[in-house]
Amino acid sequence: MRPRASRLTVSVGLGLLILGLLFSACTGRRSREGSGPVTLVFKHAKHPRYSYLRQLIDQFEAENPGIRIREEILPASTDEQHQFYVINLGAEADDFDILDMDIIWVPEFARAGWLVDLTPHISEAELEPLNPPALQADWLDGRLYAVPWFVDAGVLYYRKDLLDKYGFEPPRTYPELVRQARHILARENDPRLNGFVWQGMQYEGLVCVALEFIRGNGGDLLGAGARPALTAPATLEALEFMDALIGEQGVSPSLVTTLNEEASRFIFQSGRAIFMRNWPYVWRKLQEPGSSMAGRAGLAVVPHFPGHASVPTLGGFHLGVNAYSHHKKEAIAFLRFMIRYSSQKEILLNLGVLPAHMEVYEDPEVQEALALPAELLAALSLAQPRPVTPYYLMISQILQPELSAVVAGIRSPEQAMAVAAPQIEHLLEIR
Ligand code: GLC
């Protein structure tokens, strides 16, 4: 094993606790008295092409003159957003009404009693067109606690100009990707060019990527009877391969162990990588005016190992209402506005993310305005969620340092998974 790139060790615990409390103190409480419009506080991540979201919110306000929406932006990393919610909702904070949640937190927050039960307020007809695996995460014990507003699926971006130059088709398998990358790297002879970048930092993004390698080799996080399948040969081989990408294969730079989504995008968008794993939002970023990658990048379904199939990780963000909110009725109206056809179409046209409403993709106006690659929709239809359980975050927190140790070359997959598997097993037994 090679001791490699020094990992960025982020001490989230105490720092975020203080940050969260400060944050909550600063936002203050709104007066609940008096007449005039009700102001709802909408906590959300800063989404790409964010100014269009405000336009959509303005439209909601125009249709609902008695309601104002105040946005409060959360930090960019999903792990930090999660910390914020846990700290504040754990303290029964009532100073925000609408939550923007990563799909993986919904069962946890629902189980904790932090989300309003939406079952009586949202009809089957409203839910029916929404992406089924995304929606599945919003139900707990037969009650609905959130709605999906956009969905994510891991995809592979590639330099179409370079693949064309060397006569390659986009790779379907990981060994093919490695072969192409090594071939191109050897001939381009450009020290700034990397083979394959992905999210290798110690955070949730690394779990999403590792799961694509593992499932693409026929393995999984949890196997039969929801027991950890981490020490199965399929899982260990996949992790071995990730490590070798940085090591023996020489295809991924050691700096991948410090990359999140945006840092990987910067590398790819500035022409410094042949392949990149990322989410669909990057597609629109690459096409923006002034982007040097406009017309030079392609998009494919994430690869798999020979004899297996591609399984992109399903991500995305969901909306829910804070159980401590004083304006639940108004907040529910906002959720219903966001999942309706016209808003979801607007999200697809302008926000650059993939909406949950499956029918808007067929809309003639959308098809006319956007040349969405067919592979993007294929990725969406193949995507599978991370384990849908209120304990997912605990599972992920056990896995993250171990996966990080593997890709940093500090531990072998066998050693790392021998640490993670019994902890996850114990967690699932005692729940
Ligand atoms: C994206 C996905 C989300 C995932 C995160 C990991 O934001 O939508 O589900 O957890 O990336 O970084």
State yes or no: pLDDT of 430 exceeds 80.
no
pLDDT digits (tens, 9 = 90+) for 213-222: 999 999 999 9
Strand partners for 157? 276, 299
Is 148 found in the same domain as 83?
yes
Average pLDDT, the chain: 91
Is 419 found in the same domain as 277?
yes
Ligand 1 centre and the CA of 316: distance in Å? 6
Does residue 15 lie in a domain region?
no
Distance CA 371, CA 273 (A): 24
State yes or no: pLDDT of 10 exceeds 50.
no
Nearest residue to 32 (alpha-carbon basis) of 95, 119, 105: 95
What per-residue confidence (pLDDT) applies to 46? Answer: 84
Does residue 2 lie in a domain region?
no
What per-residue confidence (pLDDT) applies to 226? Answer: 72
pTM score: 0.91
Is 253 found in the same domain as 143?
no
pLDDT digits (tens, 9 = 90+) for 180-194: 999 999 999 999 999
Q: Which of 79, 279, 396, 400 to mutate to test the pocket of ligand 1 (most atoms within 8 A of CB)?
A: 279
Is 283 found in the same domain as 202?
yes
Q: How confident is the model at residue 340 (pLDDT cuts 50, 70, 90)?
A: very high
Is 196 found in the same domain as 303?
yes
Q: Which of 155, 203, 204 to mutate to test the pocket of ligand 1 (most atoms within 8 A of CB)?
A: 204
Q: Are residues 316 and 208 in contact, defined by beta-carbon separation less than 8 angstroms?
A: no
What per-residue confidence (pLDDT) applies to 240? Answer: 97
Does residue 423 lie in a domain region?
yes
Does residue 69 lie in a domain region?
yes
Residue nearest to atom 11 of ligand 1 (CA): 205
Q: Token pair for residue 406?
A: 């593997």
Does residue 395 lie in a domain region?
yes
Distance CA 230, CA 216 (A): 14
Is 406 found in the same domain as 297?
yes
Is 419 found in the same domain as 286?
yes
Is 349 found in the same domain as 231?
no
Ligand 1 centre and the CA of 334: distance in Å? 23
Which has more pLDDT, 7 or 64? 64
Distance CA 181, CA 162 (A): 10
pLDDT digits (tens, 9 = 90+) for 124-141: 999 999 999 999 999 999
Q: How confident is the model at residue 18 (pLDDT cuts 50, 70, 90)?
A: very low
What per-residue confidence (pLDDT) applies to 23? Answer: 44
Ligand 1 centre and the CA of 282: distance in Å? 13
pLDDT digits (tens, 9 = 90+) for 248-263: 989 999 999 999 999 9
Q: What is the dihedral of CA 399, 258, 200, 290, to 10 degrees?
A: 140
Ligand 1 centre and the CA of 305: distance in Å? 23
Strand partners for 299? 157
100 within ligand 1 shell (Cβ under 6 A): no
State yes or no: pLDDT of 19 exceeds 80.
no
Ligand 1 centre and the CA of 38: distance in Å? 32
Is 99 found in the same domain as 87?
yes
Nearest residue to 255 (alpha-carbon basis) of 334, 319, 192, 182: 192
Number of independent structural domains in the chain: 2
Q: Which of 10, 85, 152 to mutate to test the pocket of ligand 1 (most atoms within 8 A of CB)?
A: 152
Does residue 96 lie in a domain region?
yes
Average pLDDT over every residue of 21-46: 66
pLDDT digits (tens, 9 = 90+) for 55-100: 999 999 999 999 999 999 998 888 999 999 999 999 999 999 999 9
State yes or no: pLDDT of 118 exceeds 50.
yes
Ligand 1 centre and the CA of 374: distance in Å? 22
Nearest residue to 301 (alpha-carbon basis) of 165, 194, 427, 155: 155
316 within ligand 1 shell (Cβ under 6 A): yes
Domain that holds residue 173: 155-311+391-430
Q: How confident is the model at residue 34 (pLDDT cuts 50, 70, 90)?
A: low
Does residue 25 lie in a domain region?
no
218 within ligand 1 shell (Cβ under 6 A): no
Distance CA 422, CA 231 (A): 10
CATH for 108: 3.40.190.10
To 10 degrees, what angle do helices 392-407 and 413-430 make? Answer: 170
What per-residue confidence (pLDDT) applies to 220? Answer: 95
312 within ligand 1 shell (Cβ under 6 A): no
What per-residue confidence (pLDDT) applies to 22? Answer: 41
Does residue 320 lie in a domain region?
yes
Is 143 found in the same domain as 70?
yes
Which has more pLDDT, 82 or 371? 82
CA distances from 153 to 233, 312, 411, 425 (A): 25, 6, 29, 27
Ligand 1 centre and the CA of 186: distance in Å? 33
Q: Which atom of ligand 1 is nearest to the CA of 199?
A: 12
What per-residue confidence (pLDDT) applies to 8? Answer: 39
Q: Is 307 exposed, middle or buried (0-12, 13-18, 19+ CB in 10 A)?
A: exposed
CA distances from 368 to 270, 357, 371 (A): 29, 18, 7
pLDDT digits (tens, 9 = 90+) for 168-183: 999 999 999 999 999 9
Which of 9-13, 23-27, 291-295, 425-429 has the highest average model confidence (pLDDT)?
291-295
Ligand 1 centre and the CA of 278: distance in Å? 10
102 within ligand 1 shell (Cβ under 6 A): yes
Radius of gyration of the chain from its Cα atoms, rounded to whole angstroms: 22
Average pLDDT over every residue of 391-409: 97
103 within ligand 1 shell (Cβ under 6 A): yes
Residue nearest to atom 4 of ligand 1 (CA): 315
Ligand 1 centre and the CA of 104: distance in Å? 9
Which has more pLDDT, 49 or 31? 49
Is 324 found in the same domain as 371?
yes
Q: Which atom of ligand 1 is nearest to the CA of 151?
A: 8
253 within ligand 1 shell (Cβ under 6 A): no
What one-character-per-residue DSSP string does 181-229 give? HHHHHHHH--TT-EEEE---SSSHHHHHHHHHHHHTTT--SB-GGG-B-
Is 219 found in the same domain as 135?
no
